[in-house]
Structure 1
Amino acid sequence: MLYAPATVSSHAHPSSDIHSSRNTWTGPRGYGGRHRLDEAPFSLWDDAKGDFRLPTPSEKSWLITRYSATAIDFQFPMMVIETANPPEPLPLTVAAIAAKFLPPPSVLVDRNANGMRLEPLDDARPIKFSRNYAGMRGPKDPLQFNFRKWIQPTDKELKLLVNALSRFCNPRLVHILCPRIIVELCCDDQRTYEPGSLPRKMGGYAVHYHHNLGSPFEGLSIRGRERLINPTTSIQDTSNYLNLFDELCPGVRVSSGTVTDVGLSAQASMSTTAGLLLRDNHGHQRLTVSNHGFLHSKEVFHPSNSGTQIGEIGERWEHLDIALVKLNPSVEFTNSTYFEAKVPRRLLRAHEIPDGAFFSVDGMSTGIVFMQAQGLTLDIPPRPQSLAEIDFLKMRIYRGFGALGAVPREGVCGAAFVENGSEEGGVAGFFQNGNTDYALSPCLDGLIDRSWSIV
């Protein structure tokens, strides 16, 4: 196993026995699955109905007593528990629902005459503002079907959604998070919308609209492939794993060179996280890295630009934010260990990733971070108004649950999402951008179609 030894100062990659043989998850793959630290003697997932349910009075009493909860809020598909004494380590689920633990507020909160809090513990909805473009008198639901609750829409349903939206407005990004749809409208097309002029429901889901001046996902408004990473050095694992172990693995630090592709001196060197070693059907092997971390240079170094040059970028997939690196012959890279995350074994297509499945990423600036697949984002490129059929990039939306107290930080971009609830080692994508609550990752169907697979 490849770990940082105790003598190496490493915030991101501690030496610990995390690769346990015991089963981590029980129950279905997706919503309703139960983490091994989930002690609740009941489940709030109704498998027969395929839906969540509220607890009975006795079940709520158990939750309050077990976690010394000062408040509990159910924001399906997650539960928020306010407590001054959270369990150690934190379970990823409680009663088979993804659980978020929060400390009590440091100041008194406003309550109504019945003693109930006037504000939610934590607003799980990613939308923070919405325009009044949708209303009761707006167009009726243009779709002839309803999206299935807590189940990812099919490609056919997504195309019908985007084509229907385009009859009323000019969408730039569409976020689908059961039971709501968030539409980010293009802001540079000179189009205006009257209050109540757009459909308030599509496929049975409530629709929210706003112009794309800033994403409703706080911290995601600057897209990954446009961002220059400049992480804080004190929170990064800067260990030189080539010197320590004679080989590299997913999750280690990689950096861009100090010389641009045109031979000029680069203004900054960026550091991100190494992805996976892939192989195509011709036998060519390439390492994935985050493309936006190497916009100005083909050279890839480990752990910093003053370290070892490990290879050069030969191909870029800008729409997936992936660059493929041909490693130097002297550099050994293994996928057989991924620090505290599961070992990656195969790439997953979008339809193979059920909503509710948990994944882990282990980046050089974070250590292991757990995230649950909770929806889709459709990235729609600009197009002529006469174009009826619309191609879009499909991205997965993940909600973060830091069972080890870790959250996404600058520098984790490029790290692989490996399914935590399965021993198959399925990889859903690579971290593109995110914040403490949410992350986005393009789906890998395009790579798979080009015959790339994990070595």
Structure 2
Amino acid sequence: MPHLDTWNIGYGSRHYADIAPFSLWDGDSSTFRPPAAHESQWIFDTFSAVSVNFFWPRIIIETATPPSPTPLTIACVAAIFIPVGSKYTPPITNTNYSNHRMADPIPAHFHWPKWQRPTKEQSRVVWERLGQIMNIEAVNFIPPIIIIELRHDEREYSKRSLPGKVAGRIAVYHRGPPSFWETIPHTRERLIKSSDALQDTYFQAHEPKRLLRSTEILDNIWCTVDGLASGLVYLRTDGVRLRRAPRLPVPESRTEYIFEYIEGGAHVAEGVRGVPIVIDHDNDNQLGAVVGFFQQEGHGSRWILSSCLDDVIEGDWDLL
């Protein structure tokens, strides 16, 4: 169960094992700030770090001696500990199509704050406006950028022919096959093992109690997947993905959540497929809340996709 000192409230969350005497989230401006020199030194000294890198909204700490219990945040930033000599690669793609001199196709009144995900209406506008100038397979909203997957068809795009800003955000493009998520480096080496987490009495998943609509889910919160084969594994909500719905005559989209592993080093086994993804929070409104169901990812991948439950809820389905 989560510790009483855990704040799993979105950006600015602090895990109970986060002992940093400062926060790198500025609540007044709702954004992250770089650490001061003495704060950087504190991180290096406290975790015997070989390197510390920031890929906001996460901090990557390279160390041979990770702390125990493992903090899911450091200074209110999602923390990932990696072994010495390994690398962390954020989602990246080919940017040759992006032209930052082109006009933003999304009207300013449909833009949204940097570290938030779009509303359904904002997502719809982005999907429809982009669909007027390109053939879309999927749109990934991963704060603070947008990754647009172009459909693999007869349409051709020259270099710097597509807008480099969409809804006020940096926009980059991918054209498959393979799909964008199949091109992400499959390296999820961790210092933390899920079996170790099971030995901590705090690391017990909540019993799934109810399904949660997408509008009820906060950005940048951590969740758990608990299976007999894998043990307890932690995921962080990293964004949302709109993809073209298959077998429909119109370009209607479907919504998926994007999750990143933040703790639990063992590869998640096939036997976990379909296990509920549950918010790790004691708040009455979130207790036992299910945000999706685990779908098997590529071997060793850092990210997984899970369908939004809105349609399931609208169909009057519920947990047994």
Q: Per the shorter chain, which TM-score range?
A: 0.7 to 0.9
Aligned to 1:427: 290
Partners of 1:131 and 1:409 in 2: CA distance: 34
Partners of 1:445 and 1:396 in 2: CA distance: 12
Provide TM-score, normalisation by structure 1. 0.61
Give the aligned residue type for 1:208: V
Question: 1:268-287 to 2 correspondence within 5 Å?
Answer: none
Determine helix, strand or coil for the equivalent of 1:452.
coil
Give the aligned residue type for 1:425: G
Aligned to 2:167: 203
1:450 and 2:315 are equivalent in the alignment: yes
Say whether the 8 Å CA contact 2:100–2:165 is kept in structure 1. no
Aligned to 2:188: none
Aligned to 2:200: none
Partners of 2:29 and 2:84 in 1: CA distance: 34
Give the aligned residue type for 1:142: P
Distance 1:343 1:195, change over 3 A: same
Aligned to 1:40: 20
Distance 1:445 1:24, change over 3 A: farther
Say whether the 8 Å CA contact 1:172–1:212 is kept in structure 2. no
* Equivalent residue for 2:259, pick from 398, 402, 407: 398
Question: 1:217-296 to 2 correspondence within 5 Å?
Answer: 217-218=181-182
Question: 1:160-239 to 2 correspondence within 5 Å?
Answer: 160-187=125-152, 189-218=153-182
State the Cα deviation string for residues 183-239 of structure 1 (Å, max 9, x = none): 11111x211111111111100111111212123324789xxxxxxxxxxxxxxxxxx
Q: CA deviation at 1:408?
A: 2.8
Distance 1:392 1:384, change over 3 A: closer
Aligned to 1:376: 240
Aligned to 1:25: 6
Partners of 1:382 and 1:199 in 2: CA distance: 26
Say whether the 8 Å CA contact 1:369–1:407 is kept in structure 2. no
1:409 and 2:269 are equivalent in the alignment: yes
Aligned to 2:45: 65
Partners of 1:218 and 1:89 in 2: CA distance: 32
Give the unaligned 5+ runs of structure 2.
186-202
Aligned to 1:250: none
Q: CA deviation at 1:399?
A: 0.8
CA-based RMSD of the aligned residues comes to 2.4
Partners of 1:436 and 1:421 in 2: CA distance: 25
Say whether the 8 Å CA contact 2:184–2:301 is kept in structure 1. no
Distance 1:201 1:409, change over 3 A: farther
Determine helix, strand or coil for the equivalent of 1:454.
coil
Q: CA deviation at 1:383?
A: 8.3
Give the aligned residue type for 1:96: C
Say whether the 8 Å CA contact 1:173–1:379 is kept in structure 2. yes
Q: CA deviation at 1:39?
A: 0.8
1:440 and 2:305 are equivalent in the alignment: yes
1:104 and 2:68 are equivalent in the alignment: no
Q: CA deviation at 1:41?
A: 0.9
State the Cα deviation string for residues 253-302 of structure 1 (Å, max 9, x = none): xxxxxxxxxxxxxxxxxxxxxxxxxxxxxxxxxxxxxxxxxxxxxxxxxx
Distance 1:449 1:384, change over 3 A: closer
1:141 and 2:104 are equivalent in the alignment: yes
Alignment size in residue pairs: 297
Say whether the 8 Å CA contact 2:135–2:150 is kept in structure 1. yes
Say whether the 8 Å CA contact 1:44–1:96 is kept in structure 2. yes
Say whether the 8 Å CA contact 1:371–1:398 is kept in structure 2. yes
Give the unaligned 5+ runs of structure 1.
1-18, 107-120, 222-338
Q: CA deviation at 1:24?
A: 5.6
Aligned to 2:198: none
Q: Which of structure 1's runs of 4+ aligned residues deviate more than 3 A?
A: 218-221, 382-385, 404-407
Q: CA deviation at 1:70?
A: 1.3
Determine helix, strand or coil for the equivalent of 2:311.
helix
* Equivalent residue for 1:343, pick from 201, 207, 215: 207
Determine helix, strand or coil for the equivalent of 1:376.
strand
Provide TM-score, normalisation by structure 2. 0.86
Partners of 2:96 and 2:126 in 1: CA distance: 20
Say whether the 8 Å CA contact 2:24–2:33 is kept in structure 1. yes
State the Cα deviation string for residues 235-257 of structure 1 (Å, max 9, x = none): xxxxxxxxxxxxxxxxxxxxxxx
Partners of 2:149 and 2:316 in 1: CA distance: 33
Determine helix, strand or coil for the equivalent of 2:180.
coil
Partners of 2:230 and 2:41 in 1: CA distance: 35
Question: 1:297-316 to 2 correspondence within 5 Å?
Answer: none
Distance 1:383 1:141, change over 3 A: farther
Say whether the 8 Å CA contact 2:291–2:308 is kept in structure 1. yes
Give the aligned residue type for 1:400: Y
Q: CA deviation at 1:152?
A: 1.7
Determine helix, strand or coil for the equivalent of 1:63.
helix
**Structure with greater Cα Rg:** 1
Say whether the 8 Å CA contact 1:32–1:96 is kept in structure 2. yes
Partners of 1:384 and 1:416 in 2: CA distance: 28
